């Protein structure tokens, strides 16, 4: 009798597992089990960017690779946002639209590609710089912004990654800037959030900061991120 009960229980278990596997064959089942709004939990991660100087890969005059280390403990929202933008391909084929020698190179406007657009990859509690209880209070996801995390003991020294924003607080979205080797814009400390560092290829950032520019500090020949790849 006990043997029959054990067999029946095992059969039920196999049936339930099989049923679950069949249900999970439906598109999106496994993905839906992961909360994509949850912040990345590691201390650091890296983003590798492939960059060209040219109108396209075919006619690029130079190609560069830089590796950026993100400091998640120092700026959990900014790093999570940057990492997810890269994961979703939002930085692929996006330009560094503003470059100033001896200062910085700025990019990340995946929305309009001219420095007037871009927004946070998901809801982080702010709508166009204003704190709100829930995302439904914000009229559009294109207004999602980040809470400032500037007082994190990271400063604007050479090779650091920082978040671009308007003059108003809590308005960072997707645009960022990188500081070359010959720049230390300390007046930005405590205002803009530093959240990462170029750990390989900072000399390329310096080279790119010296390209010829025209009106609005736009490179005469485009500087384009062809891909941004995330790793642990």
Residue 12 confidence class, pLDDT cut points 50, 70, 90: very low
- Contact between 86 and 67 under an 8 Å Cβ cutoff? The reply is no
More confident residue, 96 or 28: 96
d(CA 55, CA 224): 8
Superfamily of domain 40-231: Cyclophilin-like (2.40.100.10)
In whole angstroms, give the CA distance from residue 182 to residue 204.
12
**101 close to 209: Cβ distance less than 8 angstroms:** yes
In the predicted structure, residue 36 carries a pLDDT above the cut 90 = no
pTM assigned to the model:
0.85
Decide if 52 contacts 226 (C-beta within 8 A). Answer: yes
CA torsion through residues 80, 113, 177, 118, sign:
negative
Classify residue 22 by its DSSP letter.
H
Contacts of 128 (CB under 8 A, 6+ apart): 138, 143, 145, 171
Distance CA 67, CA 229 (A): 9
pLDDT digits (tens, 9 = 90+) for 97-136: 999 999 999 999 999 999 999 999 999 999 999 999 999 9
Provide the residue count of the chain.
Answer: 232
With contact defined as beta carbons under 8 Å apart, do 95 and 223 qualify?
A: yes
For CA atoms 147, 47, 34, 138, the dihedral sign is positive
Residue 75 has pLDDT above 60, yes or no: yes
How far is 68 from 195, CA to CA, in rounded Å? Answer: 10
Residue 232: band (very low, low, confident or very high) from pLDDT cuts 50, 70, 90: confident
DSSP β-bridge partners for residue 115: none
Q: Which residue has the tokens 């803009």?
A: 192
For the chain, the structural domain boundaries read 1-31, 40-231
Question: Pairing relation of β-strands 44-53 and 223-231?
Answer: antiparallel
Lowest-confidence segment of 7-11, 122-126, 146-150 by average pLDDT = 7-11
Answer yes or no: is pLDDT of 33 > 50: no
């Amino acid at each position: 009798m006990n043997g029959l009960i054990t067999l029946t229980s095992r059969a039920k278990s196999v049936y339930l597992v099989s049923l679950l596997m069949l249900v999970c064959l439906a598109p999106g089942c496994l993905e839906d089990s992961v909360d994509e709004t949850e912040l990345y939990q590691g201390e650091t991660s890296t983003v590798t960017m492939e960059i060209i100087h040219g109108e396209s890969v075919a006619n690029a005059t130079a190609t560069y690779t830089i590796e950026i280390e993100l400091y998640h403990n120092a700026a959990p929202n900014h790093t999570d946002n940057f990492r997810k933008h890269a994961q979703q391909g939002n930085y692929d084929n996006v330009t560094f639209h503003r470059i100033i020698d001896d200062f910085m190179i700025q990019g990340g406007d995946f929305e309009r590609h001219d420095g007037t657009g871009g927004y946070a990859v998901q809801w982080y509690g702010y709508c166009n710089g204003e704190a709100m209880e829930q995302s439904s209070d914000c009229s559009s996801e294109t207004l999602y912004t980040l809470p400032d995390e500037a007082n994190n003991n990271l400063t604007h020294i050479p090779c650091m990654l920082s978040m671009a924003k308007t003059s108003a607080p809590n308005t960072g979205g997707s645009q960022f800037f990188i500081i070359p080797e010959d720049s230390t814009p300390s007046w930005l400390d405590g205002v803009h959030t530093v959240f990462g560092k170029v750990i390989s290829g900072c000399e390329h950032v310096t080279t790119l900061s010296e390209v010829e520019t025209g009106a609005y500090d736009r490179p005469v020949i485009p500087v384009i991120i062809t891909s941004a790849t995330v790793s642990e």
